[in-house]
Amino acid sequence: MDSVLLHQAARSLGDAHRVVVFTGAGISAESGVPTFRDDLTGLWARFDAAQLATPEAFHADPDLVWGWYEWRRARVRRATPNPGHRAITTIVDRAPAGTVVTQNVDDLHERAGTRAPIHLHGSLFAPRCVAAAGHPATFPDLPEGAVTELAEGGRIPPPRCVSCAALVRPGVVWFGEALPEAALTAAVEAAATCDVLLTVGTSGVVYPAAEVPRIAARAGATVIQVNPEPTPLDPVTAVNLRGTAAQVLPALVAAAWERTDGN
């Protein structure tokens, strides 16, 4: 890690009033959560992820699609937040105004202590019914034995909405669906008004989410990127910190607030 770049980023972060942290699949992968297209193992490997993650697939075979998402949800439950997640919680807590915007559908930010992250692509833990009203739904986690069966490509009938009896669907954004309007509006507003946007573990190619760091840059914010590899966001970033979230973010937090605390 380049110490000069680290301290340059720390100076911008420590001086900022409004901070946005924008995260992608890379930070969850460090906790052992497979990326979307990699989460097809065992007999699930015979499926194309893009063909399971559509409204049409759910309509055609709801038991199959629900089974896959329950398999994914159970795997996330077994994962734990990593030092990158915990550092992000510290960043948004220490900033006078801090917001987390994530493309991830897991709950690792919440379990690391981040309050109310904006989920641009929905959440595995916010199912809703398929009716126009989209009632939120709750249901118990699967027992471990059922999770093992799901590893073999099992089907599970979706529960029914207690309000309208419609099928309950995963609360994620599927191919062909728009991002949640309220989440997108909040993310754009946060990016357009921040002083620093820290982008972590995202490829910068999935739109419209990938536009969020670019909005911040156009508005004059300092964009800091944490990623092991170059991405299409490189041209709009003021500082590129090469490394993983778990490696870089704790060091960035220490550098930013040791300086501002006068230690």
CA 169, chain centre distance (Å): 19
The span from the CA of 190 to the CA of 151, in Å, is 39
The span from the CA of 12 to the CA of 224, in Å, is 9
User: Is 263 labeled as ligand-binding?
Assistant: no
User: What domains can you pick out in the chain, each with its CATH number?
Assistant: 3-260 (3.40.50.1220)
User: Is 104 labeled as ligand-binding?
Assistant: yes
Mean pLDDT to the nearest integer, 31-48: 63
- Residue 18 is inside which H or E element, if any? strand 18-23
Per DSSP, the three-state class of 107 is coil
In the chain, % of residues over pLDDT 70: 87
DSSP for 128-180, please give it: EESSTT--B---PPPPHHHHHHHTT----PPPB-TTT-PBEEEEEPPTTPPPP
The answer to whether residue 17 is catalytic is no
User: Is 129 labeled as ligand-binding?
Assistant: yes
**Helix ranges, 53-128 (H):** 55-60, 62-78, 83-94, 108-111
- Residue 12 is inside which H or E element, if any? helix 3-15
Q: Which is nearest to 57 in space by CA: 160, 155, 183?
A: 155
Task: Give the global pTM.
Answer: 0.90
User: Is 106 labeled as ligand-binding?
Assistant: yes
Neighbours of 5 (CB within 10 A): 15
- Order of strands, edge to edge, in the sheet holding 222-226? 118-119, 97-102, 18-23, 196-200, 222-226, 239-241
User: Is 201 labeled as ligand-binding?
Assistant: yes
User: Is 203 labeled as ligand-binding?
Assistant: yes
SS3 for 209-255, per residue? CCHHHHHHHHCCCEEEEECCCCCCCHHHCCEEECCCHHHHHHHHHHH
Residue 142 pLDDT greater than 80, yes or no: no
CA 71, chain centre distance (Å): 18
User: Is 245 labeled as ligand-binding?
Assistant: yes
- Residue 51 is inside which H or E element, if any? helix 49-52
82: confidence class by pLDDT, cuts 50, 70, 90: very high
Residue 42 pLDDT greater than 70, yes or no: no
* pLDDT tens digits for range 189-224: 999 999 999 999 998 888 999 999 999 999 999 999
Q: Are 250 and 83 in contact (CB under 8 A)?
A: yes
**Comparing 60-64, 95-99, 149-153, 155-159, which segment has the lowest mean pLDDT?**
149-153
Q: Which of the following is catalytic: 109, 119, 121, 135?
A: 121
